Structure 1
Amino acid sequence: MAQLENIEAIEKRLWKAADTLRSNSELASNEYFLPVMGLIFLRHAYSRYLAIKDDIVAKLPSRGGKTRELTKEDFSQKSAIFLKPEAQFDYLVALTDADDRAEKIIQAMEAIEADYRNLRDQLPKQEYRTIPNEVLGQLLRGLNPDELKKATGDIFGRIYEYFLTAFADQGAHDGGEFFTPVSLVQLIVNVIEPDHGKIFDPVCGSGGMFVQSAHFMEQHQQDPTQLTFYGHEKNRVTTRLAKMNLAVHGLEGNIIGGEPAITYYNDQHDGLFGSADFVMANPPFNVDEVDAEKVKNDPRQN
């Protein structure tokens, strides 16, 4: 793993690159945070892809002197996303001003969604058409510095969390409701020690409880794929962030979002109540207008 000070320098450099959108486009932070997180997602997915690709290729079976092609199953077994050539970050960085970068990024997102049903219609796409072509070029290059290519370990998992924190601090989305500080999530996880079974977060935001639960398993030399993640999140944009956050860490979960998923009034995970092995959450403590009449017969309050 790169030294801590090097990681911090990379994080700040990447944030500075992303923050150029503030001065070089007409977008406010609440408008560009999702497309930026989409590119961070792509860059992290590419980092994980490259980290294991050579090992996978070396072990591919051959028949008649011909080696079979890579498949998404090869990468799923290693908790990584398979990327077709058009979805690989180097391909996007190499585009010129003569290319329609927004269209190419959209095609990259569509290629991933075609292979991963849990990400279908969740990745940002049309949002890139609101960003000038040359600014997209600057952003792609800025998110791909040389020192990042040399870093090892799950550095991009940390960078993804850094960006979530920075956008939350900036008030980019719903006053920061989509993100609980990593330090608080780590405290909750270390107290509860989720080491098996079903993990449920009824107000899951961008999925931090799930990611830190997986880290907890890894720190104890256990396979995080033993965990099954379930979440409610009322905001559709935040639901997309949660699904991206899980995927970028090589995890899968059943995240239900949108208006019917307001956890006070709706139990979307039918049958999960009473059967989850661990429930962890940072409840929206600032919400004080819950309709008590609607929940008076809800068995979850007992």
Structure 2
Amino acid sequence: MAKGKQNNNGANLGFEAELFKAADKLRGNMEPSDYKHVVLGLIFLKYISDAFEAKHQALLAEDPLAAEDRDEYLADNVFWVPKEARWSHLQAHAKRPEIGSLIDEAMRAIEKDNESLKGVLPKDYARPALNKVMLGELIDLISGMGLHPSPSGRGTGGQGKSYDILGRVYEYFLGQFAGAEGKRGGEFYTPRSVVRVLVEMLEPYCGRVYDPCCGSGGMFVQSEKFVQEHGGRIGDIAIYGQESNYTTWRLAKMNLAVRGIDADIRWNNEGSFHKDELRDLKADYILANPPFNISDWGGERLREDVRWKFGAPPVSNANYAWLQHIYWHLAPFGVAGVVLANGSMSSNQSGEGEIRKAMLEADVVDCMVALPGQLFYSTQIPACLWFLARNKNPGKGWRDRRGQVLFIDARNMGVMVDRTRRELTDEEIKKIADTYHAWRGEPQPGEGAGLRNTSPLPLGEG
């Protein structure tokens, strides 16, 4: 397999690209939106089966009785996989015409034995329209991935590397499917370079991280990766999220599970505005990429709401509903990074200008970043990043930023990675983040760093 160029922004032109190219050849006439679930479901099944088998073999060597104790697996954050659902069983029957039914039965068996996966896994592999020869070839392809986790628990021993390998495959495939789906792909996937800007600027070392429209969970994956890369422990942050699209919620649950990330991700089809599943949560960090300029958010039913501290958002556009919903969920020292369309910085329609003025006068806007166009799969229009802060004078080594807003112009940054899409480079992401950190006057270690998140408090006022 050709060794490719490494790019931390998601275009890992190595084994992930080769795997995707091979998998995509098997797609035939299937729509990417359908094929995505077929492939990602099998990758997920392969991983949890490998993790189970590795733990199973380790327990057999120590104590054969313990090898059949589910609690032993749960203690190491390993899913219990019954015999009929193990990859070896499916691989042995990959060429049989009933392979679709066998995969569906495997998914049902795993959901039955693992409460956190109930309703998450795809279970329509037996449908007549799905080519069973293609399914068998996919199983053969995925079997050769060599994703064999160590038997040690999450975050210990060599397990982290195994999670990262499969996480990279899963993340790369998500991005490629988003590109193939175009506008629809943007509904479940935020480009990795944009997520990295948010994460590198906010630096979520520990505390509660929340995304009210979490898509397939990329914000959480990058936040956990940031913690690990900076010497923290994977459990230092508590993750909370909500998603209104059931299919996308399932992708998020699988995306986090293959990384071994514990999270409280809620789904309901009414969305965060009308059924705020985490109403009492006050988060230390909020990272979000809400859908731009949505007009059908049901705002006419929410004219009076405690969240609209700066004014009732217009029924024709949800941008300022998102900003206020997010600010409402910030803890006393919380900070938020939100992706919105550029128009949110200047629009005066239906009272938006008055809301923006009230937010500035209340000194809740910390920083604005103007991004270049063509960063997103779903739209070519340029976007911006809003950074909100509950307290711009936290003391203990931090600079007093009251009465100030930092503006960063990144509109000329980025490189074209294909005909239609741009990515920010590692150096550009660092330059943006370093500018923000220097302006905030962040304390050195021991001088109050991490002030915002000294204790992951229970849900409540914080």
Task: Please classify the TM superposition score into its range, dividing by the shorter chain length.
Answer: 0.7 to 0.9
Equivalent pair of 1:206/1:239 in contact (CA under 8 Å): yes
CA displacement at 1:155 relative to structure 2:
0.7
> Distance between the aligned counterparts of 2:255 and 2:145, measured in 1?
24
Between Structure 1 and Structure 2, the one with more helix by share is 1
* Cα separation, 1, equivalents of 2:231 and 2:301: 44
Moved more, 133-142 or 171-180: 171-180
SS of the equivalent of 2:292 reads coil
Give, in whole Å, the separation in 1 of the partners of 2:46 and 2:5.
21
Q: 1:5 to 1:54 in 2, by over 3 A?
A: farther
Matching of residues 131-142 of structure 1 within 5 Å: 131-142=130-141
Give the conservation status (yes or no) of the 8 Å contact 1:44–1:157: no
Counterpart of 1:180 in 2: which secondary structure? coil
Q: Which residue of 1 aligns with 2:278?
A: 269
Shift of 1:128: 4.2
Q: Distance in 1 between matches of 2:149 and 2:184?
A: 36
Residue 179 (structure 1) aligned to one of 179, 189, 195: 189
Q: 2-side partners of 1:95 and 1:73: how far apart? A: 30
**Which segment is superposed worse, 146-155 or 262-271?**
146-155
**Post-superposition offset of 1:214:** 1.8
Counterparts of 1:59-138 in structure 2 under 5 Å?
Answer: 59-60=62-63, 67-98=65-96, 100-129=98-127, 130-138=129-137
Q: Which residue of 2 aligns with 1:43?
A: 46
Kept after mapping to 2: 8 A contact 1:189/1:213: yes
Question: Once the 2 structures are TM-superposed, how far is the Cα of residue 205 of structure 1 from its aligned partner?
Answer: 0.2
Deviations 1:230-270 (A, max 9, x none): 2121111001111111111112322222422x223331213
Distance in 2, matches of 1:289 and 1:146, equals: 43
Q: Does 1:294 align with 2:294?
A: no
Question: Aligned match of 2:289 in 273, 282, 288?
Answer: 282
| CA–CA distance in structure 1, aligned partners of residues 60 and 204 of structure 2 | 34
- CA deviation string 1:186-207 (max 9, x = no partner): 2212222223332210010011
What is the SS of the residue equivalent to 2:232?
coil
Does the 8 Å CA contact 1:79/1:251 hold for their aligned counterparts? no
User: Quick check: which has more Rg, 1 or 2?
Assistant: 2
Greater mean deviation of Cα atoms: 70-79 or 233-242: 70-79
Question: Aligned pair 1:194/2:193, yes or no?
Answer: no
In 2: Cα distance, 1:150 partner to 1:289 partner:
45
Provide the rounded CA distance (Å) in 2 between the counterparts of 1:13 and 1:224. 29
Residue pairs, 1:137-286, within 5 angstroms: 137-145=136-144, 153=162, 154-171=164-181, 174-260=184-270, 262-272=271-281, 275-286=282-293
CA contact (8 A) 1:198 1:227 kept: yes
Does the CA-based 8 Å contact 1:75-1:81 persist in structure 2? Answer: yes
DSSP-derived class of the 1:232 partner: strand
On the 8 A contact 2:208/2:238 being kept in 1, the answer is: yes
Number of equivalences: 290
- Aligned-partner residue type, residue 131 of structure 1: L
Q: How much does 1:224 deviate?
A: 2.1
Considering only aligned residues, what root-mean-square deviation do their CA atoms show, in Å? 2.8
Q: Deviations over 1:14-60 (max 9, x none)?
A: 2123213432xx52112221121101111222343455554444454
Distance 1:86 1:14, change over 3 A: farther
Higher strand share: 2
Instruction: Provide structure 2 residue ranges, at least 5 long, that are not aligned to the other structure.
Output: 7-11, 151-160, 310-462
Instruction: Provide the C-alpha distance between the structure 1 equivalents of 2:73 and 2:197, rounded to a whole number of angstroms.
Output: 31
Identity %: 36
Return the alpha-carbon distance in structure 1 between the equivalents of residues 145 and 236 of structure 2.
35
Amino acid in the other structure paired with 1:13 = E
Task: Note closer, same or farther for the CA distance 1:144–1:5 as it changes in structure 2 (3 Å cut).
Answer: farther
Name whichever of 140-149 and 26-35 sits farther off: 140-149
* SS of structure 1 residue aligned to 2:283: coil
- Alpha-carbon contact 1:182-1:208 (below 8 Å) kept: yes
Kept after mapping to 1: 8 A contact 2:98/2:126: no
* SS of match in other structure, 2:81: coil
| TM-score, normalised with respect to structure 2 | 0.57
Alpha-carbon distance in 2 for matches of 1:95, 1:189 = 43
Deviation at 1:108, TM superposition (A): 1.5
Kindly tell me: are residues 172 and 123 of structure 1, through their superposed partners in 2, closer, same or farther at Cα, counting changes over 3 Å? Answer: farther
Residue in 2 aligned with 1:20? 25
Deviation at 1:131, TM superposition (A): 1.6
Q: Distance in 1 between matches of 2:278 and 2:145?
A: 44
Aligned to 2:453: none
Shift of the alpha carbon at 1:213? 1.9
* TM-score normalized by the length of structure 1: 0.84
Structure 2 CA distance for partners of 1:233 and 1:173, relative to 1, 3 Å: farther
Following the alignment from structure 1 to structure 2, what is the Cα–Cα distance between the partners of residues 116 and 173?
Answer: 34
Within 1, Cα distance between the matches of 2:69 and 2:171? 28
1:151-185, Cα deviation, whole Å (9 max, x unpaired): 96421110000010000001178342100122222
Could you say if the C-alpha distance between residues 8 and 149 of structure 1 is closer, same or farther in structure 2, counting changes exceeding 3 Å?
Answer: farther
**Contact 2:253 2:265 survives alignment (8 Å):** yes
